[in-house]
Amino acid sequence: MKQQITENIAHELKTPVSSIKGFLETILNSKPDRTKVLDYINRAYSQTCRLADLINDISLLTKIEEAGNLYPIEKVRLYPVIHSAINDLQEKLQEKQNKCPVEYFRGN
């Protein structure tokens, strides 16, 4: 199971890194016009945001796994937890819309 997880993580990390590398190589090797350069930089930035999110997710999963034995299992009322998560995510999404290109939210 750990091998499968490691392979999935490696694949998920390679995808944005390959995209970033490809965009930058194109800029360096073909000397495209200013519009294309800005487009490639925008796309590379979008992939960088994606990569940062993946790394944060991996870090969070590691912390959750490490802390799993520290706390007893107990029943939780889900509605307040979900409501709180939605409020937290709305703020983060608004922040990302100001920092990342729109394409980031379309899954490009």
**Rg of the chain over all Cα atoms, to the nearest angstrom:** 19
CATH (domain of 98):
1.10.287
Cut 0.95: pTM above it: no
Question: Percentage of residues in the chain with pLDDT exceeding 90?
Answer: 29
Which residue intervals of 31-77 are DSSP H helices? 34-67
Res. 65: pLDDT tops 90: no
| Total domains present in the chain | 1
Q: Looking at residue 24, what is its pLDDT?
A: 93
- Computed from CA positions of residues 96, 101, 105, 108, in that sequence, does the dihedral angle turn out positive or negative? negative
Mean pLDDT of the chain: 82
Distance in angstroms (rounded) separating the CA atoms of residues 70 and 72: 7
Chain centroid to CA 63: how far?
Answer: 17
Range of the domain at 95: 2-106
Instruction: Indicate if the pLDDT at residue 48 is higher than 70.
Output: yes
User: Could you please report the per-residue DSSP string of 83-106?
Assistant: HHHHHHHHHHHHHHHHHS-GGGGG
